Chains A and B, each alone.
Chain A
Amino acid sequence: MTTLMRNLWRSLVGGGRNEPQVVAATIGARAQRAAGPSIEIAPNDPIIAYFQSAPGAVEIDKLTLDSPALRALKTAGVKLAVALVSQGELIGLLNLGPRLSEQDYSADDRALLSNLATQAGPAVRVAQLVRQQQIEAQARERLEQELRVARLIQQTLLPKELPSLSGYGLARYYQPARAVGGDFYDFIQLANGQMALVVGDVTDKGVPAALVMATTRAILRGAAVQHDSPGQVLEQANDLLVPDIPRNMFVTCLYAVLDPLSGRLRYANAGHDLPYRRHGDGAVELRATGMPLGLLPGMQYEENETVVEPGDTVLFYSDGIVEAHNPQRDMFSFGRLQSLVAGHAGGAPLIDFLLAELARFTGAGWEQEDDVTMVTLQRDEAPALAASAPAAADAANAWRTLATFSWPSEPGNERLAMAQVAESVSDLGLEPARLERLKTGVAEATMNAMEHGNKFRPEVPVDFVVRASDRAVSVCITDQGGGQPIPEAHVPDLEAKLAGTQTPRGWGLFLIEKMVDEMHVTMDEKTHTIELIMYLKGGADGHQTA
């Protein structure tokens, strides 16, 4: 009997559903014959009504019902069936085939089976409930897993480090809501030392939002290197997103381009919350109109500009802060945010200040409703490299071209390029040590361009543009290997190289980054350009001289 019970148990509980299930079993010593085929009973089968009211064991052969389940029971050779009932609900049948002795079931057998069924019914029901709970727990776990994936996508793509920007301080805060909204932000280094700032928000949540965010980020990065105009960047991003974005989803996005030398900030807006520029003791909205990305093709985006003056802070943010509610269901609101920004000294501490105000507003036990994202851009009070003469700021911004030339992609030509760059900048008074570093940077970048960009095809040239401002030298090195991104520079693992578990090579990009004051990589379909910038003088700002 123990074996019979165990088999019954497995068959009934293992099903994991609420419909009654039937197990054919044979009473007898030979356990291997104990479990029979499992029979499904449709919810509308008349046999259910019959068994719900049938007391004790029922002889199947004597039953006449128009029931598919009954036919199946007969086919399976079931002789006797006992209903398993829990709280008036049929949860299964205990079925027995012919006795091995070929005798009929006795009254004792039937009484024993009835008793067994009375006790087994509720026990099986409990087991079914446990099983159901396990399934629900697994479903919850799957949901959690999906959230983890969404978070992972989002966090992998958000900048891990803030770019260092001479004369400016950048700070960011990003806190996803539990269900993970679609906030994102990005910094993109552009040619000529400019930098794009992006803050955006994808409608919807979870993995779909994270994927749209990843796509939008990639599209914006592509558009950013192709177009100088922020309006055109958004226009292109919109046209690329429209055909691919899922219905009912769209992306709001603020895209701004900063020229660090002049402080000029050009921006366009695809339906995103307006940034605030804190200046003096006020905070002004940076307004530009435009539809969110992904709704309609052919949209145009207004483009405006402002100047971030020394001491100014610009706050970029998402709606997670302004739409936060307090227990009285009031919103934090733009008005409150604007007056708080106006009343604060700005810079990175502004973020902490706003978070404290947000916490004070929402009160304890607030469950964050949406992602909260803030990025601040502050211009130093005294610009690091500013000259004192009034006209100097303009003069310093002007880049003049010193030389343009090309070299075929043949090993050894990096020396020639290096010498030519050194010659071009010889009148600028670059400190000797800084000149050596620039030369090494140029040689390494040229080698990469010849080898990785142009695959050492001699007929494919590497192009050079050497420019100077009053403060810095810029060398742009362009190869024809576009489309393939240049990998990020990483710190080589010398121990692994010495242990022979890693190639001894792989120093180029790391060296370049260490040699020069700024390195900017841009790419389009055809070309890569790496721009190396060396300040004429080191000092507090020349972080590499330490």
Chain B
Amino acid sequence: MATKPLEATVRQEGHAAVISLRGEIDSFGEETLNQAYDSAEALGTSAVLLNFSGVDYMNSTGIALIVALLARARKTGRRLLTSGLSSHYVEIFQITRLSDFMSLYPDEATALAQVAG
């Protein structure tokens, strides 16, 4: 089975850096994800939004990658937000308590409205 390597694009929307993710978040995605976060950090915004709407699979290694990003964000005082998680992954973010540390929004527009101003 051809696995879909993770793709990430980074852009700035107002006060937020947006990382749009496509594909699968597992051990193969580590480098892509970390590089994307480096780029987002370089934009110097106070908030970083992870848009998961193009992600169709995330495993426990992927969860660990997100935990590591969250740890980085907290160290530099950045807010981490998410959008576009499917209801299954929303449940997983709740079970793992990641949702206690990052706000989950249904879509990008709703999330960005939270970081306005």
Binding site for B on A (CB under 8 A): 411-412, 414-416, 419, 433, 436-437, 440, 443-444, 447, 492, 494, 497-500, 503-508, 510-511, 514
B71 x A499 contact (CB < 8 A)? yes
Query: B60 contacts which of A411, A415, A419, A444 (Cβ < 8 Å)?
Result: A444
Query: B88 contacts which of A433, A498, A499 (Cβ < 8 Å)?
Result: A433
Residue of A nearest to B4 (CB): A415
B-chain residues with CB within 8 Å of residue A443 when the two chains form the complex: 57, 59
B88 x A504 contact (CB < 8 A)? no
A419 x B1 contact (CB < 8 A)? yes
Residue of B nearest to A420 (CB): B1
Least distance between A172 CB and chain B CB atoms (Å): 29
B27 within 8 A of A: yes
As a 0/1 sequence over residues 79 to 103 of chain B, the CB contacts with chain A under 8 angstroms (1 = contact) are 0000000011001100111101100
B-chain residues with CB within 8 Å of residue A436 when the two chains form the complex: 88
Q: Which of B14-22, B46-54, B62-70, B105-113 contacts A (4 or more CB under 8 A)?
A: B62-70
B-chain residues with CB within 8 Å of residue A504 when the two chains form the complex: 64-65, 67-68, 71
**Can you list 16 A-B pairs, Cβ within 8 angstroms, ordered by A?**
A415-B3, A415-B24, A416-B1, A433-B88, A440-B59, A440-B92, A443-B59, A444-B59, A494-B67, A494-B97, A494-B101, A504-B64, A504-B65, A504-B71, A507-B63, A511-B96
B12 within 8 A of A: no
Residue of B nearest to A447 (CB): B59
Least distance between B27 CB and chain A CB atoms (Å): 6
Separation of A443 and B60 alpha carbons in the complex (Å): 9
B-chain residues with CB within 8 Å of residue A500 when the two chains form the complex: 71
Least distance between A181 CB and chain B CB atoms (Å): 42
A415 x B68 contact (CB < 8 A)? no
B87 x A433 contact (CB < 8 A)? yes
B74 within 8 A of A: yes
Q: A415-B57, A494-B98 are in contact. List 7 more A-B contacts (CB 8 A).
A: A437-B91, A440-B92, A443-B59, A444-B59, A447-B59, A447-B61, A506-B64
Interface size class of B (residues with CB under 8 A): 20 to 34
B59 x A498 contact (CB < 8 A)? no
Separation of A440 and B59 alpha carbons in the complex (Å): 7
Least distance between A452 CB and chain B CB atoms (Å): 12
Least distance between A271 CB and chain B CB atoms (Å): 46
Query: B101 contacts which of A414, A433, A498 (Cβ < 8 Å)?
Result: A498
B-chain residues with CB within 8 Å of residue A507 when the two chains form the complex: 60, 63-64, 96
B67 x A508 contact (CB < 8 A)? no
A414 and B65 contact, Cβ closer than 8 Å, known pairs A433-B87, A500-B71, A511-B95: no
A-chain residues with CB within 8 Å of residue B87 when the two chains form the complex: 433
B-chain residues with CB within 8 Å of residue A505 when the two chains form the complex: 60-61, 64
A-chain residues with CB within 8 Å of residue B3 when the two chains form the complex: 412, 415
B74 x A498 contact (CB < 8 A)? yes
Q: Which of B60, B97, B98 has the most chain A CB within a 10 Å cutoff?
A: B60
Binding site for A on B (CB under 8 A): 1, 3, 24, 26-28, 57, 59-61, 63-65, 67-68, 70-71, 74, 87-88, 91-92, 95-98, 100-101
Q: Which of A411, A414, A507 has the most chain B CB within a 10 Å cutoff?
A: A507
Query: A498 contacts which of B67, B91, B95 (Cβ < 8 Å)?
Result: B67
Separation of A498 and B95 alpha carbons in the complex (Å): 16
A-chain residues with CB within 8 Å of residue B60 when the two chains form the complex: 444, 447, 505, 507-508, 511
Residue of A nearest to B73 (CB): A498
Separation of A412 and B27 alpha carbons in the complex (Å): 9
Residue of B nearest to A419 (CB): B1
Separation of A510 and B60 alpha carbons in the complex (Å): 10
A-chain residues with CB within 8 Å of residue B59 when the two chains form the complex: 414, 440, 443-444, 447
Residue of A nearest to B68 (CB): A504
B-chain residues with CB within 8 Å of residue A503 when the two chains form the complex: 64
A492 and B27 contact, Cβ closer than 8 Å, known pairs A500-B71, A504-B71: no
Query: A494 contacts which of B57, B65, B91, B96 (Cβ < 8 Å)?
Result: B96
B-chain residues with CB within 8 Å of residue A494 when the two chains form the complex: 67, 96-98, 100-101
Residue of B nearest to A506 (CB): B64
Separation of A440 and B24 alpha carbons in the complex (Å): 13
B-chain residues with CB within 8 Å of residue A412 when the two chains form the complex: 1, 3, 26, 28
Separation of A494 and B67 alpha carbons in the complex (Å): 8
B-chain residues with CB within 8 Å of residue A497 when the two chains form the complex: 67, 71
A-chain residues with CB within 8 Å of residue B27 when the two chains form the complex: 411
Least distance between A484 CB and chain B CB atoms (Å): 20
Least distance between A498 CB and chain B CB atoms (Å): 5
Q: Which of A419, A433, A492, A499 has the most chain B CB within a 10 Å cutoff?
A: A492
B-chain residues with CB within 8 Å of residue A499 when the two chains form the complex: 71
Least distance between B5 CB and chain A CB atoms (Å): 11
Residue of A nearest to B70 (CB): A498
B-chain residues with CB within 8 Å of residue A510 when the two chains form the complex: 96
A498 and B71 contact, Cβ closer than 8 Å, known pairs A415-B57, A443-B59: yes
A-chain residues with CB within 8 Å of residue B28 when the two chains form the complex: 411-412
Least distance between A222 CB and chain B CB atoms (Å): 29
B-chain residues with CB within 8 Å of residue A514 when the two chains form the complex: 95
Residue of A nearest to B97 (CB): A494
Least distance between A497 CB and chain B CB atoms (Å): 5
Separation of A411 and B26 alpha carbons in the complex (Å): 10
A437 x B88 contact (CB < 8 A)? yes
A440 x B101 contact (CB < 8 A)? no
B1 x A415 contact (CB < 8 A)? yes
A-chain residues with CB within 8 Å of residue B101 when the two chains form the complex: 494, 498
Least distance between B34 CB and chain A CB atoms (Å): 12
Separation of A440 and B68 alpha carbons in the complex (Å): 21
Least distance between A331 CB and chain B CB atoms (Å): 52
Residue of A nearest to B94 (CB): A514
A-chain residues with CB within 8 Å of residue B97 when the two chains form the complex: 494
Least distance between B58 CB and chain A CB atoms (Å): 9
B88 x A440 contact (CB < 8 A)? yes
A-chain residues with CB within 8 Å of residue B70 when the two chains form the complex: 498
Least distance between B29 CB and chain A CB atoms (Å): 12
A-chain residues with CB within 8 Å of residue B65 when the two chains form the complex: 504
Separation of A506 and B59 alpha carbons in the complex (Å): 11
